[in-house]
Amino acid sequence: GLAVPAAITVSLGRAAQSGLLIKGGEALERLATVDTIALDKTGTLTEGRPRIAAFVLAKTATLPAPTLLAAAAAAERLSTHPLAQAVVAYAAGQENLPVAPAIEDLITLPGTGLTATIAGHHLALGNAALLTAAPAPELLATPDLANATPLYLLIDNIPQAVFFATDELRASAPAAIAQLNALHIHPVLLTGDIA
């Protein structure tokens, strides 16, 4: 009568030490029947430190690149998302950026991006869900950026530019996925971006 509760207590404690929180013995027992597991991409399978690998201006851009970079960084400074931090870091590494006007009415759109008002104009920055049409050819990833996450910058619903963010795969990720497959557990990727 004491062996099972003791084993469950030890298992829960050991799992917690490894960063895995399990809500009680019943949940632990139900793990034996799991056949699918959902994994977050950023920070779980990847290092969680994305960087901007490229910034491409759209042919429809109505503002110069430095102004767009300053506006994007000003909006993203108000976000804690790792991709937002990558945009801010990229802009900080550029020279001669103008001072961006104040950001107003910032709205975070979970899984999509953000919108804000800047100098009386509607700014949107995020994934393809913000676009009203397919991206223009110049805003598509080149083969070397095929695995990059595009972040589209729009001003007044007109595409201005795209940031391509990349993140390094964790060294342990392929082995972890292989172990799940060996256990006949199907991994599913949860991500707000393209892959």
Characterize the bridge pairing of strands 113-118 and 103-109: antiparallel
25 touches 5 (CB < 8 A): yes
Q: Which of 35, 40, 144, 167 is catalytic?
A: 40
| Distance in angstroms (rounded) separating the CA atoms of residues 78 and 87 | 12
Residue appearing with tokens 């937002």: 84
| 163: nearest Cα among 133, 190, 191, 130 | 130
Is 105 tagged catalytic?
A: no
193 CB neighbour count, 10 Å cutoff: 18
Rounded Cα gap, residues 79 and 171, in angstroms: 28
Q: Residue 55's CB: how many other CB atoms inside 10 A? A: 19
| Spatial CA neighbour of 40 closest among 82, 84, 100 | 82
HEC secondary structure over 144-175? HHCCCEEEEEEECCEEEEEEEEECCECCCHHH
* Active site residues per annotation: 40
